[in-house]
Amino acid sequence: MSGSLRDTNLEGWNRPPVIVPDGEGELLEVAMGPHHPSTHGVFRMDLALDGERVVRLKPVFGYLHRNHEQIGETVSYLAMMPYTDRLDYICSLTNNWAYALAVEKLVGQAVPERAEYIRVILAELTRIVNHASAIGFLIQEMGASGTPLMYAFREREKILDLFESLTGSRMMCNYMRFGGCRVDPSAAWLDATRKVVAGLPQFAHEFENLLMSNEIVMARCQGVGKLRPELAINAGVTGPMLRASGVNYDIRKVDHYGVYDRFKFRVPLGDHGDIYDRYMVRVLEIHESIGILEQALKEIPGGPVMDPKAKIRGFRPKPGEAYGRIEGPKGELGFYLISDGGNSPYRFRVRPPSLINLTVLEDMCLGHNVADVVLIFGSVDIVLGEVDR
């Protein structure tokens, strides 16, 4: 990141001027979505086109608004845990962790060391799953229908098998608890994980070879959908998208939550902030995650996975509030809880990285072709369950 914010003029943050067509023809208004094969679910963009070029783009949300926040305020703290699985349904375990972290902050609950290691292992596996499928979807939208996504999902199935044998469910794990984890992984499970992790570098390498230097991918991605770092910071963009713009901000390094400061890993940074950088940052993050996994699986200590003093049923925190956040695969995932001493939170708020990363969608798309909009949107890597909640 170059210098501080003050030397950039953000007063004119209002979008670049709309390009008005010169007299001949009119703007074509297109509603893309909510049922559109390229969008990741039910998302709608209202586009105004000048020929092929985008001159206005308004995202329309709410097609998957499932009232997570309202439900969070009516059910108990424990009962909200399985709902968090369904926020970002590709990465249920990081959602679990963020929520558990927020509640642990609210009540000042400590977590045993072994549980912290397990959380790191599961979160990094989730990150690999997410990044691999995000890249797969992105390339699918580029026209490579099937193959990369097929490879990504083949690897995902292996990791999902691990999740299932530990937590009982493939996608909706509901595994973490306030003060630890629900079940202790057996030695056999850890061995199976080591085996899967040992196979991952090869997968990452193949996945990289498959696409990284592909001329078509480069032609479609490089220089498209650029995001300036100043705008990225001001718009609250987080996660791989922010780092692709060259801002060194990884909550794993900043907040030192969990036991992340015990592991050696690097934060991949992009240079141009275009689609290709976002894609490469994700590829490199897969490599770093594999590194963290190897270290964590080597160092994992014994001991309990649950603080014996932690309460599960009848959990009533004292009045107060807390904001807990983690570096989810998509960005900063935060939970903000206000307790009034009751059975359920007075206010339950999810800070969705996907929604806030979409703030800059219009800025990235303006002036590009319609075909690029799909790619730029894909490179943001969103999950609608989290955007609309």
Partner 1 sequence: MLGEGILKGLAETARNAVGSFVSKDRLTTVEYPEERLPLPEASRNFPFLVYDGTDWEKGLRCVACQICEKECPPKCIYIDKSKDKKPDAFGRPQIYPAKFDIDISVCMSCQICVEVCPFEAIKMDTQYELSTDDRFGGLLLDRKELAKSNEYYHQIHPTEASEVDAKLAAEKVKADAKAKAAAGAAAAKAAAAAAAPKPAEAAAKPVVLADAPAAKPQGEGD
Partner 2 sequence: MKSVEEIKAAIEAAVPGAGVEIVPNPSPSGQHSLRLLPSHAVAVAYFLRDDEDLGLDFLSNLTGVDHLDKEIAEKVKVTRQVTKTVDGVEQTVDEVVEETRKHMEPGYLETVYHLFSMAKKHGPVVLRMRTVNRTDEVELPSVTPVWRSAEFQEREVFDLYGVVFTGHPDLRRLLMWPEFKDHPMRRDYKEPDDFEYEPTPHDTVLARAKDHKAAVAGQEGTGTGL
Partner 3 sequence: MEEGLKIELGKQGVFVTTIEELYNWGRKNSVWPMQFGLACCAIEMIATTMARYDLARFGAEVFRPSPRQADLMIISGTVTKKMAPQVVRLYNQMAEPRYVIAMGACAISGGPFKQGYNVLKGIDRYIPVDVHIPGCPPRPEALLQAFMTLQKKIEEQPLTGEGRPRHLDAEAQGEFPVPVQGEHDLEPTSNKLVWPLPVVIR
Residues that bind partner 3 (CB under 8 A): 34-37, 41-42, 62-67, 70-71, 74, 82-83, 86, 89-90, 149-150, 153-154, 156-157, 170-172, 384-385, 388
Report the number of secondary-structure helices (H) and strands (E) in the chain. 15, 8
- DSSP assignment of 233-296: HHTT--THHHHHTT----HHHHT--TTGGGS-------SS-SHHHHHHHHHHHHHHHHHHHHHH
Cα dihedral sign, 138-144-150-155? negative
Tell me whether residue 237 or residue 284 sits nearer to partner 2 (CB atom): 237
CA 323/CA 106 separation, integer angstroms: 8
| Nearest-approach distance from CB 255 to partner 3, in angstroms | 28
Q: Does 28 bind partner 1 (CB under 8 A)?
A: no
| Nearest-approach distance from CB 249 to partner 1, in angstroms | 31
Please give the residue ranges that form the binding site for partner 2 (CB under 8 A): 1, 4-6, 11, 13-14, 61-62, 65, 67, 69-70, 74, 105-108, 231, 233-238, 247, 249, 254, 317-325, 332, 334, 336, 338-339, 346-347, 349, 351, 355-356, 358-360, 388
Q: At what angle do helices 187-211 and 147-167 cross, to 10 degrees?
A: 170
| Nearest-approach distance from CB 351 to partner 1, in angstroms | 22
| Nearest-approach distance from CB 196 to partner 1, in angstroms | 11
Judge contact between 81 and 93, C-beta under 8 A. no
Count of C-beta atoms within a 10 Å radius of residue 372: 20
Give the interface segment with partner 1, choosing from 44-52, 79-87, 113-121, 271-279 (CB under 8 A). Answer: 79-87
The residues facing 320 across adjacent strands are 339
Tell me whether residue 85 or residue 372 sits nearer to partner 3 (CB atom): 85
Angle at 354 between CA 351 and CA 355, to 5 degrees: 70
| Nearest-approach distance from CB 102 to partner 1, in angstroms | 18
Residue found by looking up tokens 């713009």 in the block: 245
| Residues 200-259 contacting partner 1, CB under 8 A | 206, 209-218
The token pair that represents 46 in the structure block: 């209202």
Question: Residue 197 contacts by C-beta under 8 Å, 6 or more apart in sequence?
Answer: 290, 293, 294, 297
Residue 369 DSSP class: B
- 180: helix, strand or coil: strand
- DSSP assignment of 137-165: HHHHHHT--SHHHHHHHHHHHHHHHHHHH
Tell me whether residue 27 or residue 171 sits nearer to partner 3 (CB atom): 171
Question: Residue 58 contacts by C-beta under 8 Å, 6 or more apart in sequence?
Answer: 45, 46, 362
Angle at 240 between CA 252 and CA 92, to 5 degrees: 70
Write the interaction track for partner 1 spanning residues 168-207; mark x where CB under 8 A is met and - where it is not. xx--x-x-------xx---------------x------x-
Write the interaction track for partner 1 spanning residues 302-331; mark x where CB under 8 A is met and - where it is not. ----------xxx-----------------
Tell me whether residue 114 or residue 182 sits nearer to partner 1 (CB atom): 182
110 touches which of partner 2, partner 3, partner 1, none (CB within 5 to 8 A by kind)?
A: none
41 touches which of partner 1, partner 3, partner 2, none (CB within 5 to 8 A by kind)?
A: partner 3
Tell me whether residue 276 or residue 336 sits nearer to partner 2 (CB atom): 336
| Nearest-approach distance from CB 295 to partner 2, in angstroms | 23
| Nearest-approach distance from CB 83 to partner 3, in angstroms | 7
Buried b (16+ CB within 10 A) or exposed e, 166-191: bbeeeebbbbbbbbbbbebbeeeebe
Tell me whether residue 54 or residue 211 sits nearer to partner 1 (CB atom): 211
Tell me whether residue 156 or residue 243 sits nearer to partner 2 (CB atom): 243
Q: Which residues are at the interface with partner 1 (CB under 8 A)?
A: 75-76, 78-83, 147, 151, 154, 157, 161, 164-169, 172, 174, 182-183, 199, 206, 209-218, 312-314
